Amino acid sequence: MEKNYRTFTMELAGRTLRVDIGRVGKQANGCAFMQYGETTVLCTATASDKPRDGIDFFPLSVEYEEKLYSVGKIPGGFNKREGKASENAILTSRVIDRPMRPLFPKDYRNDVTLNNMVMSVDPACRPELVAMIGAAIATSISDIPFDGPCAMTQVGLVDGEFIINPSQEQWKIGDLNLTVASTSEKVIMIEAGANEVPEAKMLEAIYMAHEINQTIIAFINQITAEVGKPKHEYTSCAVPAEMFDAMKEIVTPEEMEEAVFTDEKQVREENIKKITEKFEEAFAENEEWLAILGEAVYQYQKKTVRKMILKDHKRPDGREITQIRPLAAEVDLIPRVHGSAMFTRGQTQICTVTTLAPLSEMQRIDGLDENEVNKRYMHHYNFPSYSVGETKPSRGPGRREIGHGALAERALIPVLPSEEEFPYAIRTVSETFESNGSTSQASICASTMSLMAAGVPIKKQVAGISCGLVTGETDEDYIVLTDIQGLEDFFGDMDFKVAGTHDGITAIQMDIKIHGLTRPIVEEAIKRTKEAREYILNEIMTPAIAEPRKEVGPYAPKIVSLQIDPEKIGDVVGQRGKTINEIIARTGVKIDITDDGKVSVCGTDTAMMDKAVEMIKVITTDFEEGQVFKGTVVSIKEFGAFIEFAPGKEGMVHISKISRERINHVEDVLTLGDKVTVVCLGKDKMGRISFSMKDVAQQ
């Protein structure tokens, strides 16, 4: 059969990136069949013919579908098919969404779906990266209005050397996981997890990725020039200029400024409610304007706030450009939990609770990365409606909550102790009590203190802060704002979140609403967050709790670890688990044993834990003459008594070895259940362990 599709290739970080156009998915608005190494991802872009009625936002949906056949797995569970998106799939969708959304027209209301289906995975070529590039190609060649292209590059750091588009293994073991998206001129998205990478090193990596992105953009431009479709016409949903003129007659810019510039969120919302009622009354006869009044009021507020910040350097709550909102921190807010802390920044308040458990309670992951099957540290973030004064039923965590939890998780992983130092699974849950911007960064601060309060020996404190941006008509006309509140996030151009220790960055997440940032803006934002982070660490968090507690709390499980000979694991477990279950029943502890003989005994009663450890040690000891044991009489015969000295382990005391004086019957001295001390004499002719009671004192 004659080939009827186009293939484009480029060399990218030492591997061939191949794109087939017109081979599959021909009914989609745009489709790119991507291969990088042997990783294969099908990327499609589709749009509705007409705008969706009654909405004031761009309805973009980005999907990243992980097919387990791509790594030769059959899904678990009864259904044996892929279910809801994994956490990694949701996070990847967000990383694709964030740089692409600003490049669609602001007045576009047609539904758009970008679908990325992972069909095979080469461990040397991460599928997330292929999907990111493929989504940009599929949209660029489609007839969907798009002011792209954009491109993405990932950077790792292994043994001090940067690695472009690292493999799954390099991504896991390296000191940096950086993803950078760019347009042809500017950086448009940054996402990073890092092992305390200094600010200068981070900037170097960001702009190294930006340069490589330019080669990918040239490649996409070549594809678009040869096979791209003309962009279709669409119905603009922009607010008419004459409506703005009419609104300014009813409420002057000065009145709107007075309404929005207050440090009380509730006061501002009440002011806007009254202004909206004025407009509703004035436009009662104009149904067309009433239908878009919400968007018009939003735009009026936005123009007012941006003008005051940019031209007059005046922030809505009266702060200076570099000033942080009032801060407060405290620990031990919640009784009986393993650790708790609360961090407050203005009208943003987060309480994080830490829970400790045995390593057996790590989260199991059934995903595309063969190297990652267990997750020891879990950070979960919740954002209930009451935190912003709204009422709606809880439907579980959305993509935003999962994204914020993952960001805090990335920020804290570099400072956690190793499993050998602290053999616990760790879960932190950040509850949003009140929100007015930057809750994700407040959750990092609260979680750091909560871990310390729980007795987790973290290496250093981590703090997070966010910077905002308002831009003018030129690249040189901008203001960077330290610690943005909700209004500045809604109406501004950037939310640049950076977390780290005194010594370096541990996480970055950058969201913007414009077509990219110049290098001076990125440098200033990183510098500002460094200054603010130092202040929070020194002046707020350290006074609340200066170092991790020396021990876990009274309600937290205690864990004792010991190493046994792997060949003795069967002795501890026993036939069908009889021995280990007996130890657990007698002591109330939890016991985990790994294949290499590492045993963890977990409980809250120290005495019972010590008892369980002693039992395990006895069971795994090679019995030698002269060893002393304590046991229980479990059986009496004419010729002697059987002593259980550990669950499932018995030895015999011959009647002649019970007492120094002659006895005629075992029952004269012993009864069932007696606790006795015995000394090992070795093994008898039948291979049984032989004990003596009368010779104990002589040992």
How far is it, in rounded angstroms, from Cα 21 to Cα 29? 12
How far is it, in rounded angstroms, from Cα 341 to Cα 298? 36
Who's near 669: CB < 8 A, 6+ residues apart? 658, 659, 663
Indicate the pairing of strand 377-382 with strand 424-434. Answer: parallel
User: Considering the domain 628-698, what is its CATH architecture?
Assistant: Beta Barrel (2.40)
Q: Tens of pLDDT along 24-39?
A: 999 999 999 999 999 9
For residue 693 the two structure tokens come to 């009671």
Say which residue the tokens 């110049």 belong to: 518
How far is it, in rounded angstroms, from Cα 149 to Cα 162? 25
Q: What is the pLDDT of residue 2?
A: 65
Q: What is the pLDDT of residue 626?
A: 77
- The residue ranges of every structural domain in the chain are 6-152+198-227, 241-312, 327-461+519-544, 558-619, 628-698
Who's near 240: CB < 8 A, 6+ residues apart? 289
How far is it, in rounded angstroms, from Cα 574 to Cα 346? 58
User: Considering the domain 6-152+198-227, what is its CATH architecture?
Assistant: 2-Layer Sandwich (3.30)
Q: What is the pLDDT of residue 116?
A: 98
Residue ranges of the chain with per-residue pLDDT less than 50: 699
Q: What is the pLDDT of residue 699?
A: 46
Is there a contact between 297 and 276 (Cβ–Cβ < 8 Å)?
yes
Q: What is the pLDDT of residue 565?
A: 87
Mapping DSSP onto H, E and C, the string for 149-201 reads: CCEEEEEEEECCEEEECCCHHHHHHCCEEEEEEECCCCEEEEEEEEEEECHHH
Q: Tens of pLDDT along 436-469?
A: 888 999 999 999 999 999 999 999 999 999 999 9
Homologous superfamily of 558-619: K Homology domain, type 1 (3.30.1370.10)
Phi/psi for 98 (5° steps) reads: -60, -45
Other CB atoms closer than 10 Å to residue 184's CB: what's the count?
16
Q: What is the pLDDT of residue 250?
A: 92
How far is it, in rounded angstroms, from Cα 87 to Cα 85? 7
For residue 656 the two structure tokens come to 């002649």
Say which residue the tokens 């005495």 belong to: 607
Q: Are both 558-619 and 628-698 of the same fold?
A: no
User: Considering the domain 327-461+519-544, what is its CATH architecture?
Assistant: 2-Layer Sandwich (3.30)
Is there a contact between 528 and 469 (Cβ–Cβ < 8 Å)?
no
Q: What is the pLDDT of residue 345?
A: 95
The H or E element containing residue 400 is helix 399-412
User: Considering the entire predicted model, what is its pTM?
Assistant: 0.87
Cα distances (angstroms) measured from residue 681 to each of 161, 212, 638, 657 = 62, 75, 20, 10
**Three-state secondary structure call for residue 371:** coil
Is there a contact between 48 and 232 (Cβ–Cβ < 8 Å)?
no
Q: What is the pLDDT of residue 305?
A: 87
Q: Could you list the beta-strand ranges (E) of 383-490.
A: 424-434, 463-471, 478-482
Q: What is the per-residue DSSP string for 67-101? A: -GGGGT----TTT-S--SPPHHHHHHHHHHHHHHG
Q: Angle at CA 324, nearest 5°, toward 460 and 533? A: 20
